[in-house]
Structure 1
Amino acid sequence: LKEVTGLTLGVLGRTLMDTSLDGHGGIAHAFEAVQDQAMFDMVTQGLVPTWVPLATQRRFRRARRDLTRTVDELVADRASRLDEADPGDDAFARMILAARRHDDPAVGRRLLREELVTLLLAGHETTASTLGWTLLLLARHPHVRDLLRDEARAVLADGRLPDADDLHKLTYTTQVIQEAMRLYPPVWILPRIAQRADEVGGFPVPAGADVLVCPYTLHRHPDLWDDPERFDPGRFDAGRAANRPRYAYIPFGAGPRFCVGSGLGMMEAVFVTALVTRDLDLDVVPGHRGVPEPMMSLRMRGGLPMTVREAD
């Protein structure tokens, strides 16, 4: 998955930041350490102080220093090319301008750094996870891959690259991505805080309680999905999806905390999958099982080793 992660990170840099991330290859490794620590903190509920000399804590502190340095370099580079009279339409430029206009410059810089780290992490890790599981499922289900290839070659004929108008034409490809995210939601668990007392499944939930919503189990619940373990992109055909309960499918969360990057993430996943499948046959190396590794995102243990050849 290293190549897929590099791809999604590069796309993020070009589209939202007007910045090349080619010289910052260590970002992905630093984010792994940050995610590991975040997962550790969530499981232990913060009972283990950060000064405890654990290997994960040391790795996290190094990663945090590396990320801070990298983010400061990215900000300095983009700020040096920023014309306040005509800043451009990328999100990064608007973030820098907002930080400059903050009443407290120090707070503005801190908020900018935190927002950028969030943007970089959420903007590439989840899409990379989705692409990895999609490629694995397509390799395991060649008949689905053939149908997707037929659509991709019809819509993206003569080897051309897609544009925004092609997204609604790649309907089957979109269904494949949706089904991959049903089986393997990139954010497999969502921490929330109960705003008021409630009862769920007969269990009392007091106001202020930490609540973990698990899309992974929700998306495989037999009361909501027929034959839930089966890979079936047709579930997301408009006719079949119409009668599904509203919150049966939440790969991007739901409510006020719904993922703001869902549109970009879906477009990227659909276009990359269509292009790769149109031109290439990717098969999993024999013996690789594709076992989920539930960290902050749903990783694949051991990555995704594949053989690549030109498609017929």
Structure 2
Amino acid sequence: MTATAEPGAPSALPGPPRGATPGLLLRMARDRLSVMTSVSRRYGDAVRLRLGPRSLYFFNHPDHVKHVLTDNAANYTKGIGLVHARRALGDGLLTSEGEVWKAQRRTIQPVFQAKRVNGKAEVIAQEAAGLVARLRRRQGGGPVDISAEMTGLTLGVLGRTLLDADLGAFDSIGESFEAVQDQAMFEMMSLSAVPTWLPLPRQRRFRRARADLDRIVARLAAERAAHPTPEGDDVLSRLVEAVRREPDARTGRLRMRDEMVTLLLAGHETTASTLSWTFHLLDRHPEVWERVRAEVLEVLGDRLPTVADVHRLRYTTAVIQEVMRLYPPVWLLPRLSREADEIGGHPVPAGADVVLCPYTLHRHPAFWEEPDRFDPDRFEPGRAEGRPRYAYIPFGAGPRVCIGSALGMLEATIVTAAVVRELRLSTVPGYRVRAEPMLTLRVRGGLPMTVRSVA
């Protein structure tokens, strides 16, 4: 693991010839992961992809990542795709910039402090126990869509841990989030070229979903304003208070809506995707499943886990880390350069579309031995020696690192431990599990699995 970024004088980036653009655009629409993988293997760690009138400057080395996300982060704003997703998601923490982003981050940052997050372990364990009970009732029956189950679970956890609210009261919320995410991805791929007012099926579905989420957010805010929580330290309470301080009430309501929709979407979708991939890979690797279960039984016995227990579930945590290496929840990080820059010895003009791809970075053969192999032991102490810090960025890095990373890891570890201790989930024979690179890297079309009790 001694690869380094390109030294020496600035040099132009290699990449597919201009004549390859039509085919490249078609492949990007059909299979974005294979495009990023193939060009990185063929052209190296710095590639220029010509996509019609625009070019993507694709960088795939830890030094490049460090430069863009940390060392010179001020020169890079949210880029291609996320800018266009703003039409679907609004100005939430995922898409906003500048002072708006800073104000939003300050508002909700205290909710994610370590002490508060750790205090939610019991709530997560209770939700995980409820999931196990629901799945246990389905054993012996037909397949269960584990992706849908993980979505319901993570929405429940998010409601109780961040909002101090019951999101289960809103039956349509999962379907509405699905429609908004689909629209956001469509905006990213089409660069917002299709007006949302056109009476197309996709646009109509999105408008209904957005209206539904608007009603849900308004109801949650009204109920919290009428019945404040004693501590007032949850996201919903803090956003309601921020609206009260906003000079323009309408602006405040819009910002709260955008922030809530973004938080709800990102807060449940990333962990749900990680858990889905976890149970798929555990099924593919029964020896890993056995080791996880043995550790869980040794550490927990038959009781619910605490925060102290989670720190002792070292192998289970390594499994989650390895899952996120192979299937990082955020698979692409697009940026836009404010001013001309140089990355790894390559000139980048002002206004350039720069992309970093955790999916390909996490499979870089210079930094990962047998990169396509599922091997949780690679995260054991001592195995990371010599590996650059920025070779592994499942939660991003720098000032805009994922604010909910600690909560996501806590939830994924507790849920995995609770399920593996009591149930064996098996993929339906013949079902092809494929990745779908949307806002998150989720399982395409769901994950049907059968349930069998082992306890």
Scaled to the shorter chain, the TM-score interval is: over 0.9
**SS state at 1:43 partner:** helix
* Equivalent in the alignment of 1:155: 299
One-letter identity of the residue aligned with 1:2 = A
* Equivalent in the alignment of 1:111: 255
Correspondence 1:40 to 2:183: no
**SS state at 2:354 partner:** strand
Map 1:102-251; keep pairs closer than 5 Å. Answer: 102-157=246-301, 159-200=302-343, 204-251=347-394
* Equivalent in the alignment of 2:21: none
Q: Give RMSD over aligned pairs.
A: 1.6
**SS state at 1:31 partner:** helix
Deviation at 1:207, TM superposition (A): 2.1
Give the distance between the partners of 1:184 and 1:40, measured in 2 at CA.
21
**TM-score, normalised via structure 1 length:** 0.94
Larger radius of gyration: 2
Give the distance between the partners of 2:385 and 2:245, measured in 1 at CA.
46
* Equivalent in the alignment of 1:9: 155
Give the distance between the partners of 2:366 and 2:392, measured in 1 at CA.
13
Deviation at 1:138, TM superposition (A): 0.2
CA offsets per residue over residues 155-197 of structure 1, 9 Å max, x none? 111x211122222111111100000011111111122222432
Give the distance between the partners of 1:100 and 1:212, measured in 2 at CA.
38
**SS state at 1:247 partner:** helix
**SS state at 1:94 partner:** helix
Higher relative contact order, chain-length normalized (CA < 8 Å, sep 6+) = 2
Confirm or deny: 8 A CA contact 1:193 1:211 kept in the other structure: yes
Give the distance between the partners of 1:150 and 1:97, measured in 2 at CA.
47
Which of 298, 309, 312 is matched with 2:452 structurally?
309
Map 1:18-29; keep pairs closer than 5 Å. Answer: 18-29=164-175
Confirm or deny: 8 A CA contact 1:149 1:277 kept in the other structure: yes
Give the distance between the partners of 1:285 and 1:88, measured in 2 at CA.
45
* Aligned-residue identity in percent: 62
Deviation at 1:203, TM superposition (A): 5.0
Give the distance between the partners of 2:173 and 2:350, measured in 1 at CA.
38
Correspondence 1:58 to 2:204: yes
**TM-score, normalised via structure 2 length:** 0.65
Which of 390, 399, 417 is matched with 1:256 structurally?
399
Give the distance between the partners of 2:362 and 2:175, measured in 1 at CA.
29
Deviation at 1:110, TM superposition (A): 1.4
Unaligned runs of 5+ in 2: 1-146
The change in CA–CA distance for 1:223 and 1:89 in structure 2 (over 3 A counts) is same
**Pairs aligned (count):** 309
Map 1:281-296; keep pairs closer than 5 Å. Answer: 281-296=424-439
Deviation at 1:104, TM superposition (A): 2.0
Give the distance between the partners of 2:443 and 2:194, measured in 1 at CA.
27
